[in-house]
Structure 1
Amino acid sequence: MGKTARVPRMSGLLAAAAAGALALSALPSNAAPSEPTRASTDLATAFQEAAATYDVPREVLVGVGYAESHLDGHNGLPSQAGGYGVMHLVSNNKNPTMSQATKLTGLPVEKLAKNTAANILGAAAVLDSYADAAKLTDRSNLGKWYEVIAKYSHSADAPTGRLYTDEVYKIIGQGVNAAGVTTEPKKVTPDRGAYAKVAPLGTRTPTSVAAVDYPGAIWNAASTSNYRVGRTAAISTIVIHVTQGSYAGTISWFKNPSAQVSAHYVIRSSDGQVTQMVAEKDTAWHVRTENPYTIGIEHEGWVDQPSWFTDAMYRSSAAVTRNIADRRGIPKDRAHIRGHSEMPNNDHTDPGPNWNWNYYMELVNGGNPNPPTYNFTTYGTGVRVRSAPSLSASIVTTLPGPTQVFVICQVQGDPVTAEGTTNNWWAKLRDQGGYMTNIYIDHPDPKLPGVPEC
């Protein structure tokens, strides 16, 4: 089916975004919008209306958004690459999606950066324009969007572009259920076009195998403009970072000569894949004045969003850290394995309060602390976590639901009724590293097979 040039209809979401455009355009770049409208926070509606306005499949929009941000706008704060919002609209020397979105929608940068509905609409407009340029006429064929999505990433090179786009298609294939947005799993065969001839990032060669210090890593060199060859001090400290962005996006940023930043390793959230970008003998730029004696390990995700910190990531990262420490004689303790926020002369907050240091350090030291006994997903919204299996116990936190959690045992407590089910078995969660201990889910699941009693 052919497509004609499109003028966006003034939907309820677009009208809400446009209404505040004039006032927001005067805000300083670090200001947050005052009271967001309900429309601007209703992600499901935002995706639906942006998809309809620009004839971009909803699965594509959600897939890109989830790959970039897990559908979290992070209160308008930028990624390390200068990207904003759920859809990571960017303005840097390699990625012009923010300026393109401004031109295509007529909305100011402040609105596109800080209003979720506008941000999604802007990304849809950019994807639509790329689809036009690619002469993509069959918009409903998800497999045909591959090269359009790859272009949206503005990756530093073709292998990184394929890494990014393959991840989006993996998400489309698995479906999404997060932040009130749901897409059904779709079996899609991606039409990679020119990318079919691009070797996936991680394809090992004798040269790449020889380049890595950690045997399980993929070698993908950072730009030589982003690190210093050699060292001026002995290596004595390993620094834990969080990327404030996606895995593929971080790799691409470290390959951008203008970034002026790098790390030795980057680790993926979903499966713990490890990419090495700077040789350990060289000085990556990750902790300002403390670079000469440190090795930096970046972890995909955002400080304020614990969903990125998977068990696969923890275990993979701990294996890297243990290997480095053993090879270099670095003590495996918190005096020598530190967070970015703990380093002198630095103003960053990563890895933040959601990083489970107790669990991580036990893994680094070769233990298998609190192994997941049973992994299940809560349902509904506002699932409460209490300090004891009693409805009168204090509420420690609330899980947004559906949320994947690790249960170590179960205990009988107060009966809980929800969605027509009543049960008095409470699931005890794995220790979260000292900041949440002896906690139970206020959740009416039956006693789960194989889960021991406390």
Structure 2
Amino acid sequence: MRNTRARTPYRLAMVLTAAATILLGVLAQGASAAPAGPLARAFARAATAHDVPRDLLVALAYAETHLDGHNGAPSASGGYGIMHLVANPTTHTLKKAAELTGRPVATLQKDDAANIAGGAALLRSHADDLGLDATARKDAGRWYPAVAAYANASTPEVARLYADTVYDLLGRGLRAPARDGEIVTVAPREVEAERGAYARTRDLNAQLAAPDYPNAGWVAASSANYTASSRPSAYAIDRIVIHVTQGSYAGTISWFQNPSASVSAHYVVRSSDGAVTQMVRDKDVAWHAGNWSYNTRSVGIEHEGYVSDASWFTDAMYRSSAALTRHIADRYGIPKDRAHIIGHNQVPGATHTDPGPYWDWNRYMQYVTGGSNPAPGKYWVDTHAAAPGHSSPGGTRTGTLNQGTNYVYCRTWGPNVQVGGDYNHWWLKTDLDSGSPWQNQWVSAYYLARWGNDVAKDNSGNDIPNC
């Protein structure tokens, strides 16, 4: 008989020094000694009630949502709450969790403790379907097929990718901040994951190279979710659109393979390590921008995470995505600037807000251009508030430049903008984050965060040149 109990690589001893191991152990003991917060208590209660390993339950939740219930708002694939209980045309785990727990669907959507209980009940139901008895349930490694089933993945390969992510977190341990500041911990441990039939399933972490980007793996989206084409001969490619998935990496890959999704992107980037999966060929038209014209002219890159949670936007993700963007720009002759590398929120007619306020455009564009300075002719500035954009200095309102670090091209003297004792006559030409048109618009230098009245300097203190 084939031995399917494979020792996984998720061992603390293989990735940490002995000193770090001791330190983490001390930290874990200190965390367990401290009074548990409401979220930690909810995980403990749910794990006990449904005889599910507590740490495995936390690791699964963290892989799904980073323990953020998003105030009851659904993910892109219709998942709710910390445990990502799903209600979409093909997956109905939210309804099943309600049946298993006897709690209303609305409660499971919005109440964190109820949602965690629903996720635990659902995970236990998968274990029961697999025949795990009371003894087997005490071994976290035996739950691997149940975790894979929880994913409701489109293929066994994606289910394995999902379960491997959860067991990686379980092995390494985690210290996860919740939205209210509570810290939920999982102590690192050595885990033997019994993959069962998944041991013979293709590992997407070691998948075949993608056809258009050598550093990506390839998983094809459903042909129902994109339009076959022959770009760039059929349509010129002159834009790159940055998205955030509103879901997990494995969940997004699975969703793009679901024929009912009616959505896709060319690439998906993982938060933890920047791994890239291509799902639609560059030559084909992915349905990502919500605007057919922009779909035909752009390449869409999805990034694992949620717009409301900065913890997903790791340096590994920024660097990997920037390398991908640089490759696409070089391949199709796209200028490496914010007029051509845009957020989904900047697509004309967009109803989405991604990549959102926590996406660090300054850092990202520095990685894209390969240096610490903006492209020639652009000057980085900080704005203390969202700045209204205008068609001309003081002219018709056209949109908004979001608060944060932005770039401008030049300045001109114009109508005074004054609030209280603060004022400025300078106007800056720039590209807005929203509005139509959004390129080459004007904002008042009143909104500059670093300098006093009636000046227009970049973040380094240099005068922005006149237009």
Scaled by the length of structure 1, the TM-score of the pair is: 0.71
- RMSD of aligned residue pairs (Cα, Å): 2.0
What amino acid is aligned across from residue 77 of structure 1 in structure 2?
A
Matched, 1:241 2:243: yes
Distance in 2 of aligned mates of 1:98 and 1:353: 30
8 A Cα contact 2:241 2:301, kept in partner: yes
Aligned to 1:151: 149
Choose the corresponding residue for 1:337, options 341, 354, 363. Answer: 341
Choose the corresponding residue for 2:355, options 313, 338, 351. Answer: 351
Choose the corresponding residue for 2:191, options 188, 195, 198. Answer: 188
Residues 435 and 322 of structure 1, relative CA distance in 2, 3 Å threshold = farther
What amino acid is aligned across from residue 350 of structure 1 in structure 2?
D
Deviation at 1:204, TM superposition (A): 4.0
Name stretches of at least 5 consecutive residues in structure 2 with no aligned partner. 1-36, 374-446, 451-467
Residues 359 and 435 of structure 1, relative CA distance in 2, 3 Å threshold = farther
Distance in 1 of aligned mates of 2:115 and 2:153: 20
What amino acid is aligned across from residue 345 of structure 2 in structure 1?
S
Aligned to 2:436: none
State the identity as a percent: 57
Matched, 1:279 2:275: no
Tell me the SS of whatever aligns to 1:117: helix
Counting only pairs closer than 5 Å after superposition, residues 88-103 of structure 1 correspond to structure 2 as 88-103=84-99
Distance in 1 of aligned mates of 2:224 and 2:113: 37
What amino acid is aligned across from residue 155 of structure 1 in structure 2?
A
Cα shift readout 1:306-338 (whole Å, capped 9, x = no counterpart)? 010000000000000000001100000000000
Matched, 1:288 2:290: yes
Choose the corresponding residue for 2:266, options 258, 264, 267. Answer: 264
Counting only pairs closer than 5 Å after superposition, residues 113-192 of structure 1 correspond to structure 2 as 113-137=109-133, 138-178=136-176, 179=178, 180-192=183-195
Matched, 1:56 2:55: no
Distance in 1 of aligned mates of 2:151 and 2:97: 14
Distance in 2 of aligned mates of 1:155 and 1:62: 20
What amino acid is aligned across from residue 320 of structure 2 in structure 1?
S
Aligned to 2:379: none
Distance in 1 of aligned mates of 2:212 and 2:80: 34
Cα shift readout 1:340-399 (whole Å, capped 9, x = no counterpart)? 001101100000110000110011001268xxxxxxxxxxxxxxxxxxxxxxxxxxxxxx
Cα shift readout 1:273-303 (whole Å, capped 9, x = no counterpart)? 0000000100000112221111100000000
Aligned to 1:300: 304
Residues 435 and 94 of structure 1, relative CA distance in 2, 3 Å threshold = farther
Tell me the SS of whatever aligns to 2:150: helix
Deviation at 1:95, TM superposition (A): 2.4
What amino acid is aligned across from residue 200 of structure 2 in structure 1?
K
Cα shift readout 1:144-167 (whole Å, capped 9, x = no counterpart)? 000000000010001100000000
Aligned to 1:448: none
Aligned to 2:65: 69
Distance in 1 of aligned mates of 2:162 and 2:247: 12
8 A Cα contact 1:202 1:219, kept in partner: no
What amino acid is aligned across from residue 123 of structure 1 in structure 2?
G
Choose the corresponding residue for 2:254, options 236, 252, 255. Answer: 252
Distance in 1 of aligned mates of 2:168 and 2:98: 29
Residues 316 and 118 of structure 1, relative CA distance in 2, 3 Å threshold = same
Counting only pairs closer than 5 Å after superposition, residues 210-229 of structure 1 correspond to structure 2 as 211-229=210-228
Scaled by the length of structure 2, the TM-score of the pair is: 0.69
Choose the corresponding residue for 1:200, options 203, 206, 210. Answer: 203
8 A Cα contact 1:159 1:200, kept in partner: yes
Aligned to 1:374: none
Distance in 2 of aligned mates of 1:298 and 1:338: 12
Distance in 1 of aligned mates of 2:448 and 2:116: 35
Cα shift readout 1:201-244 (whole Å, capped 9, x = no counterpart)? 14344xxx3x5211101011000000000155311100000000
Pick the structure with greater CA Rg.
2
What amino acid is aligned across from residue 326 of structure 2 in structure 1?
R
Aligned to 1:83: 79
Distance in 1 of aligned mates of 2:372 and 2:126: 48
Aligned residues: 332
Distance in 1 of aligned mates of 2:282 and 2:94: 35
Distance in 2 of aligned mates of 1:177 and 1:435: 37
Distance in 2 of aligned mates of 1:95 and 1:144: 25
Cα shift readout 1:97-142 (whole Å, capped 9, x = no counterpart)? 1111011111111100100000000011111111111111121101
Distance in 2 of aligned mates of 1:218 and 1:203: 8
Matched, 1:323 2:319: no
Name stretches of at least 5 consecutive residues in structure 1 with no aligned partner. 1-40, 370-433, 438-454
